[in-house]
Amino acid sequence: MKRARGDRVFWLLAFFSSLSVIVMFTLLFYELLSNSVPIWKDGMSFITGMVWDPLKGLFGAFPFIYGTLLTATFAILLSTFLGVGIAIFLSEIAPSSLRVIISSIIELIAAIPSVIIGLWGIFVLAPFVRDNLQPLLQHLSFIPLFSGKTLSGLSMLTAILVLTFMVTPIVAAIAREALLMVPEDLKEALYSLGATRYEVVRHVCIPYARQGIFGGVILGYGRALGETMAVTMVIGNTPSISASILNPGYTMAAVIANEFTEATGDVYLSALIGIALLLLLISLAVNLVGRMIVWKWQQEG
């Protein structure tokens, strides 16, 4: 009797906690939607609008969508590369003493408040981009991606690097966990066929751990899309659409944080809330697509 009652209490508790998450999410979504109604009156032109000039009453969200997707995508590509590399090094190559040290450093980096990383971006990274990377990439200026320049070093490239720095530890830590789950005897089976360490990593470890690694990448992408503080400190906050990552830009999260308190007028406010809604939808879409890919892998066995 008593035990059955305990069971039911536990069940109810679990049920209402899950329910409350769903309720809160629905409320959030509803709140964003209802508060951004004025801006949706023109429908798609808010999303495709290229000009953001609140003083003239022009509210085009595209520069922010562009800046967010561009910086986050480049950052996650770099982070995947670096993070998986670090994870392979940690799980397969490094001697155990080094493993502990590097793992703790990575965890430490992941715990740095983003405003501090932003400061580092302003004081260290931006001058580095201006004095070293910009002159270097000048040689590639025939490629539109590298055609601009700034005097301050505050640019989308700087934001990409800051994001890479923040997201790589996430990817590395999750990929490492996934790689450590690879059964020892599978690795030994390939070694016993005369495989090199590189071949074992490539043909056994990565295929086996790909779901976990991919999960880390999706999580990191979500983080990069939503990161606000550090990005707004280094990206230059210019709502323009430039093909060159050496030019300044702006992101959705950054504009919301910067302009929300000074937004005057219903339309201005609703435009910012509209951007918040779009950011939420993009993050959800990334997560959903990620889940679908993992699900498809699982179906394949």
Partner 1 sequence: MAGHATDKIVVRNLNAWYGDFQALKNINLSIKKNTITAILGPSGCGKSTFIRCLNRLHELRSDAKIEGEILLDGKSVFNMDPVEVRRKIGMVFQRPNPFPTMSIYDNVAIGLKLNGVRDKKALDRVVEDSLKKAALWDEVKDKLNMPGTSLSGGQQQRLCIARAIATNPEVILFDEPTSALDPISAVKIEDLLVDLKGNYTVVIVTHNIQQAGRVSDYVAFFWMGELVEFGKTAEVFENPKEELTEAYLTGRIG
Binding site for partner 1 (CB under 8 A): 95-96, 183, 185-186, 188-196, 199, 203-204, 207-208, 210, 301
Min dist. Cβ of residue 77 to partner 1 (A): 24
Nearer to partner 1, 207 or 265 (CB): 207
Closer by beta carbon to partner 1, 40 or else 191: 191
Half-sphere exposure in the Cβ direction for 255 (13 Å, CA) = 31
Q: For residues 40 and 208, which CB has a smaller minimum distance to partner 1 in the complex? A: 208
Could you tell me the two tokens for 231? 């990005």
Shorter beta-carbon distance to partner 1: residue 30 or 297: 297
The phi, psi pair for 59, rounded to 5°, reads -125, 85
User: Nearer Cβ to partner 1, position 31 or 188?
Assistant: 188
Q: What region, left, alpha or beta, does residue 38 occupy, with left being phi > 0 and alpha being psi -120 to 50 degrees?
A: alpha
Angle between helices 62-88 and 206-226 (to 10 degrees): 150
Q: At closest approach, how far in Å is the CB of 195 from partner 1?
A: 5
**Least Cβ distance, residue 91 to partner 1 (angstroms):** 12
Residue 301: which residues within 8 A CB-CB, separation 6 or more? none
Q: How far is the CB of 105 from partner 1 (least distance, A)?
A: 21
For tokens 């918040």, name the residue.
Answer: 276
Alpha carbons 70 and 227: distance in angstroms, whole number: 13
Is residue 46 within 8 A of residue 40, CB to CB? The reply is yes
Smallest distance from the beta carbon of 296 to partner 1, in angstroms?
14
Tokens at residue 139, please? Answer: 């040689």
- Closer of 94 and 280 to partner 1 (Cβ): 94
Q: Where are the alpha helices (DSSP H) in the chain?
A: 2-35, 37-40, 45-48, 62-88, 96-110, 114-120, 126-128, 134-138, 156-180, 184-191, 197-200, 206-226, 229-234, 252-259, 266-300
| Distance in Å, CB of 295 to partner 1, minimum | 17
